[in-house]
Amino acid sequence: MKKASELTVVDLFCGAGGLSLGLQRAGFRVLKSIDHDGWAVQTYRRNLGDHVVEAEIGPDTRLPEASVIVGGPPCQGFSSAGSRRNGDARNTLVGVYASLIAARKPMAFVFENVEGFFTGEDGTRVLELLRPLVDAGYRIHMRKVNAANFGVPQHRKRVLVIGGLGWDPSFPEPTHMAFGAPGAHLVARERPKTPTLLDVLEGLPRPASGSEGTPQGHFTPPLTELDVKRIRALLPGQRMRDLPQELQHESYARRAFRRVKDGTPTERRGGAPSGIRRLKGDEPSKAITGASRNEFLHPVEDRFLTIRECARLQTFPDDFEFLGPQTAQMLHIGNAVPPVLGEVIGRSLAADLKRIKRGFQPRSGALLSFVPTASQGMSPALERTTEMVMAAFGPQLEPKEQLRLWG
């Protein structure tokens, strides 16, 4: 086993490298990163180094010895922004991830995924992650967080799981108070406010027309006459449903009243009804996804956001270069762990690892906290998952109030 104080990491399902970049800033040395997406690997290699490998990740994947393993298996099977179907083969990578950590036994691990991880597959993937890791001796925090509480200028709700092998890890303390979304103010009320969208975009030149742009990706494609009419009709905070009927997308009437039962859409989500939204400049952005460049309008100018503006809202530096077709670039930006969030996680982990002394007496595995929401209410689907977790790990949780509110 690596000495606890060594800040070395393996990044699984690394994508373009947002989490790796944040961990490097926090003092970690990334020994190996793996992803199956060729363009993501090329982007990672261009910006972060040659320790990245293009490969499928499975139970037999060979990993170097590191003090920490991090990663987030592909989230599309759980995401509310795309198709969400039980049985999605990508969901089974949660089990692969857990088995690799249980076999390699790093001093700590970090798991990150979309908030739908709690309710996707009827919550069974939550237990698929927790059971083998608790059995392997990890003491674990599992909480839903809003990246805006850690300085990321967008309301990006994610599941964050942190475990220590036989020791109690800290959970990163919020650095900012979020605002501009229901319930956002419930956490870290005493902290400085999260940067706003216009705060973060300040200093960028006017985007180029057509293609290219400086910095890379800062350009706007041509708009159709219908695009212009729709954009000019929307005020900050308004979206497709606020447009006159003649300007609404042809699919809107069919899909605008789609029902969401127990957290699961009856039709594929995304597209026009939830898209084309003019953002508010004096608030953090809505969550950046792979579709944001075609959905989110600049709060002041009559145009869509540029690729570079989306990257800034994800806290990538302007010199971080994204490779591949524009659709691939946006996918990698939207799927990334924001580097600023990665750095906060890394600094918390680094402090923990440096205080652990060799020869400490390990304790048995346990679920230390489970916080599926920062609000008082839960959907029926989330309640079912919470009941399953309580049945499996409830006696370990102290106090049980952690189940309802973290703040």
pLDDT value, residue 4: 62
Q: Does 116 fall in a domain? A: yes
State phi, psi for 251 to the nearest 5 degrees: -85, -5
pLDDT value, residue 212: 83
Q: Tell me which of 316, 334, 352 is where a domain ends.
A: 334
Smallest CA-to-CA distance from 135 within 106, 166, 111, 168 is with 166
Q: Work out the pLDDT band at 120, boundaries 50, 70, 90.
A: confident
Q: Does 78 fall in a domain? A: yes
Q: Average model confidence (pLDDT) for the chain?
A: 88
249/338: higher pLDDT: 338
Q: Coil, helix or strand for 246? A: helix
pLDDT value, residue 205: 96
Task: Find the CATH number of the domain harbouring 36.
Answer: 3.40.50.150
**Burial group, residue 293, by CB count within 10 angstroms (0-12, 13-18, 19+):** buried
Distance CA 158, CA 113 (A): 6
**Residues acting as catalytic residues:** 75
Residue 272 has pLDDT above 50, yes or no: no
Note down the domain range covering 291: 197-334
Q: Work out the pLDDT band at 61, boundaries 50, 70, 90.
A: very high
Contact (CB, 8 A) for 141 and 129: no
User: Does residue 146 sit in the same domain as residue 230?
Assistant: no
Count of domains observed in the chain: 2
Q: Per residue in 216-266, pLDDT tens?
A: 999 999 999 999 999 999 999 999 989 998 898 876 656 655 544 444 444
pLDDT value, residue 268: 43
pLDDT value, residue 261: 42
Q: Does 285 fall in a domain? A: yes
Residue 107 has pLDDT above 50, yes or no: yes
Average pLDDT over residues 2-19: 88
**With the C-alpha atoms ordered 35, 40, 42, 47, is the resulting torsion angle positive or negative?**
negative
Joined together, the tokens standing for residue 105 give: 């036994």
Q: Per residue in 142-190, pLDDT tens?
A: 999 999 999 999 999 999 999 999 999 999 999 999 999 887 877 888 9
User: Does residue 358 sit in the same domain as residue 217?
Assistant: no
pLDDT value, residue 361: 84
Q: Tell me which of 289, 311, 334 is where a domain ends.
A: 334
Q: Does 176 fall in a domain? A: yes
User: Does residue 41 sit in the same domain as residue 174?
Assistant: yes
User: Does residue 371 sit in the same domain as residue 313?
Assistant: no
- Name 69's Cβ contacts closer than 8 Å, sequence gap at least 6: 9, 10, 12, 63, 100, 101, 104, 106, 109, 110
User: Does residue 110 sit in the same domain as residue 175?
Assistant: yes
Residue 313 has pLDDT above 60, yes or no: yes
User: Does residue 57 sit in the same domain as residue 71?
Assistant: yes
Q: Does 2 fall in a domain? A: no
361/39: higher pLDDT: 39
User: Does residue 132 sit in the same domain as residue 210?
Assistant: no
User: Does residue 205 sit in the same domain as residue 188?
Assistant: no
Task: Find the CATH number of the domain harbouring 325.
Answer: 3.90.120
- Name 304's Cβ contacts closer than 8 Å, sequence gap at least 6: 220, 221, 231, 293, 294, 295, 296, 297, 298
Q: Work out the pLDDT band at 400, boundaries 50, 70, 90.
A: very low
User: Does residue 370 sit in the same domain as residue 311?
Assistant: no
Q: Does 369 fall in a domain? A: yes
Joined together, the tokens standing for residue 186 give: 């419930």
Joined together, the tokens standing for residue 331 give: 């996918």
Where do runs of H (alpha helix) occur along 120-176? 124-135
Residue 47 has pLDDT above 60, yes or no: yes
Residue 404 has pLDDT above 50, yes or no: no
pTM: 0.90
Residue 76 has pLDDT above 60, yes or no: no
pLDDT value, residue 298: 98
Distance CA 184, CA 155 (A): 9
pLDDT value, residue 138: 97
Distance CA 7, CA 23 (A): 9
Q: Does 290 fall in a domain? A: yes
Q: Does 3 fall in a domain? A: no
Q: Tell me which of 273, 306, 334 is where a domain ends.
A: 334
**Burial group, residue 383, by CB count within 10 angstroms (0-12, 13-18, 19+):** middle
User: Does residue 373 sit in the same domain as residue 232?
Assistant: no
User: Does residue 145 sit in the same domain as residue 281?
Assistant: no
User: Does residue 208 sit in the same domain as residue 286?
Assistant: yes
